[in-house]
Structure 1
């Protein structure tokens, strides 16, 4: 019997954990697999190994692990595989397959555009976009965010898309906001490239308040959230992994 184990980042903020649970509920409705559980990398329970335990306790002989992560960084490359190694030793007869984060995908660009379009202001030649990423010491994070920014610029024809980060790498959020403030663009669309709400979203809101008295129009867009395109990407990944033969 198959199971799907969704792995969210985790947060101390209850609203973020509830958003992850609501998103998984949307996925459950379109994925025809009897066992579906949610777990977290950190800061919340259950953890990944416990998530696998719960699937197996319900009769799962194959667990399809789906990282609810935007980019491939430390959690996807190290933390999740390390936890799954423990789970495999605990359940040697269970086939455990792991998918990939959303990554640089056209659907992600479309979601960002949708979030910008929710604002009342036009995205035109007097506008720029500031993408705010979580940040990681993994060099792939900066590379992937730059690739997303380039695709976003190409698809929207906006004159300028800049990137900054909330942790670990530069430019920092403060630097990104200062650069946008010093630019010639009249409107700045600040897009939190985050999956769910949490401490980092609150940080962006607080920092942006300091620029609200400037002569620019600042538009804080929603984080990506439980967008239908994300549900479709998850559905496609689960179907692909479900078709993999055991031992392949």
Structure 2
């Protein structure tokens, strides 16, 4: 059975920032090429859907296994406390659903390469 994925971002009062996360989620869906049963996004605060609502949406659509991916660069309070607390509440409500939290984005071994690639791409674009 395929897992479902919930990309969790902070959320912003600025709607365009939240829309960027939604657009990224769509690009991840395309790139994943059916690797996941479903891919959605949710926000810790300031935007909808909330983390509980995002989890409920996936569960309502048949998810039995969910990976929560914190779209954060550093291990601040949100990553260490807030997201795990939200997930724990959902897990208690749905003990038959397996919900795991993936390492946050900033821990990725590919982050240095990504940054250097972005800089190289930017320098190439500036040269044009």
For the criterion TM > 0.5, the same-fold answer is: yes
- Structure 2 matches for 1:92-103, cutoff 5 A? 92-103=95-106
CA contact (8 A) 2:42 2:54 kept: yes
1:55 to 43, 54, 58: 58
Partner of 1:84: helix, strand, or coil? Answer: helix
1:29 aligns with 2:34: no
**How many residue pairs end up in the alignment?**
121
Q: Which has the higher contact order (CA 8 A, sep 6+)?
A: 2
Distance 1:106 1:64, change over 3 A: closer
**Larger-Rg structure:** 1
- Name the TM-score, length of structure 1 as normaliser: 0.45
CA contact (8 A) 1:41 1:48 kept: yes
Partner of 1:97: helix, strand, or coil? Answer: strand
How well do the aligned residues superpose, as a CA RMSD in angstroms? 1.8
1:45 aligns with 2:62: no
Distance in 2 of aligned mates of 1:59 and 1:113: 39
Structure 2: which 5+ residue stretches go unaligned?
A: none
Kindly provide the CA deviation profile for residues 61-83 of structure 1, in whole angstroms up to 9, marking residues without a partner as x: 11111111112211110000000
- Name the TM-score, length of structure 2 as normaliser: 0.84
Structure 1: which 5+ residue stretches go unaligned?
A: 122-248
